[in-house]
A and B are shown apart, each in its own frame.
Chain A
Amino acid sequence: MLSCVRSYFIVNAMFIRVESSTLFIHRLYASEMDVLCINRSYCTDIPGNSNGNGSDDNPSGHNANGSYNGNGHDHGSDNRSDNNANGSSNDDDDKTYNPNDAKKFATHLFYMEWDELYKLIVKESYSDPYAGLRLAEMNFTNPYLGCSDATKITYGVMKLLIKYIYDTGLEYGKLTLGYKESV
């Protein structure tokens, strides 16, 4: 009987934690300014849940040098102790904002998008049609990249800029962005 009651409370506590994480993600994407009031336990849980909910399809990461392992933990700036590790949700009134939590979560979101973009890229190249013009391009594979996916497109453009354009001693430059589609 005692173990049944204990299990009931553990399951309830886990449910509350998952609900809280989901709510937090929704609120962040909805750009509510409540992001300033991140509950520490939410942020601690979210990166760890990434492999469970299927949002990160590349748990091993794409890096050979181990700079990213797909869990979103490596790029955090600290290793805080998780005060809520036992599943209790009694710190709901702890609304202090910790910038390191926001950075860790932003890192996790960045690598989710970055990995998805990485899987789509099949070819990157550049050419210099004449002195003073550089054309850098990348091609995607099926299922291609949706025009509405502004974040991944922006990451792709920045990837091209960092890889092929940015250089020391850059004196003058303007860039135009182009899309390749098919009919």
Chain B
Amino acid sequence: MERVSVSWIFRACLLFILIGMVWGGVQAEQLSQTYMPGEVIVRYADIGSGTAIASVASSLNTEIGADTIYSEEKLGIKGMQVVKIPDTMSVTEAVQYFKSNDYVSYAEPNFVTYLPGPIGGTGNSISESGEDTPGMTIPDDPDFNLQWGLYNTLNINTERADISAPEAWNISTGSPDIIVAVIDTGVDFSHEDLADNCLSGYNFVDFDENPVDDNGHGTHCAGIISAVTNNSIGIAGVSWNSKILPVKVFNSAGKSNVALEIMGIKYAEREGADIISCSWGGYTYSETLKEVIDRSPALFVCAAGNEGYDIDEIPHYPAAYSSPNIISVGASDGMDMPAWFSNYGVSSVDLFAPGTEIYSTLPGTYGFMDGTSMAAPFVSGVAALIKGQKPAYDAIAVKNLILSSVDQKYWLDTVCSTGGRLNAYRPLSQVLPLTAEFKAEPGSGTIPLNVQFTDLSSGNPESWRWTFGDGFESGQQNPAHMYMKPGKYSVTLTIFKEGLSSFAEKEDYINVKPPFQPVKAFPDKKGDYHPVPTDQDDDGLFEDINGNGWLEYEDPKLLFDQILFAIKEEPVGQFDFDGSGFIGFGDVVKLYQMV
């Protein structure tokens, strides 16, 4: 125990020093360079044909001696260019120059973006996971027990702080038709735990088709989203089967710019990406980046940033853009608290997701990382699971479903708009097909028997109609019903939603027994007695009239022969097979039919 404490103190100190060193360096660079030297993004207004735009652009560029670096074709956006201005002109002057032209919608520097400040990458010891739990799907990946964000076995004395992934996997493990673009430092697409789920991708740093990860950040994010799972290797991804599209726009130092990012986004769109995972951002507002995101049909999942800021006050983009197709993600820890480093904002951050001590893939290996960069891929993975279940859902629908299904934590009310942490199971459970299912407790007992019925239907029904088999009905979701007469009752549940319905029936589901009363042996023809009757199926009725241990035709015959004895000597409840309230020939006939 003491050893562990010393170890943690040592790690904390080391982490602090490391953060200070690295973060200090990054900040120094940011201060010195917020945009690419001499580069300006120019967005022309829609003035008709491409020729007209080209003519205006050429004229404006020529006038100041600017050269086109990325054409509208390369950027993939009509009317947009990135130009290199001559050294004799400042970027600020160039932006003003272009803005002053009536045919220019906006112009801005090509802002530099950095990956969120690195928080850590320490090795951790996490306790073994428990046994498989009913209602869960536990994969066989050997390091799954290190992935507390998926299934938290670390803090066994607290509530689960994970995203309920095993419960979600009981519903869906994702679809290979869903593509998640990881716009980042590239992905180790040959990694043993990623290769089968990786598409080809593109490298916008070197402009080639080799989006190799020379940093590690993108590979870590990709593994969280969609590592190959249940393959007896390494780790599990949130969405086992969806595809990763590696889009490298950050170099080995974790540096990129808006031009590369929008090229990466447009490429991802062309490749059919449904979800674009953006574990990066900056504090400079880019009109260009916002416009590209606004116009995209994809869902953007964006890290909120790692500076501990309230980004309602100090916006971090793209997470803080107001675009309806952005989900902004903060990082939570194993105690379900906001991570100490996580940015937050009751307006600008939508939800939190696990972001500390996250174990995932790294180029050629595996390891731990911390950050909102790790939290965002959890959300991307869940979005992929939902999209796989509901391909017709657009980005807004997927976003709304995720945000309306968080695990509410009151202490998150002041740090994000939903006041909750990501849950993978709940949104999936809401998009299941409408299927009626129920249970009852208890299923058997003596009269009067009060039974609690529980709706287990999927698909979020809007109304319910129960029949209890004794002539009574209910429209409640979880009704209780009192049975007053012995018998076996069949129960039905019909659920309704938006004009659709689903029906479930359980025959002889509720077994209501008469209060027990001792029964007497029936006389035989020799003046002696048969063995005492027995209850063969524990329904409170003594069908085995001759007491030989099973029900046969001799039993109704004996009841017939000794009907006057039965009427006089036996308790009604135990022999009232037809439910008439008395012993009679109706019971003989019923028992005969029961044989």
* A and B are partners in one complex rather than unrelated chains: no
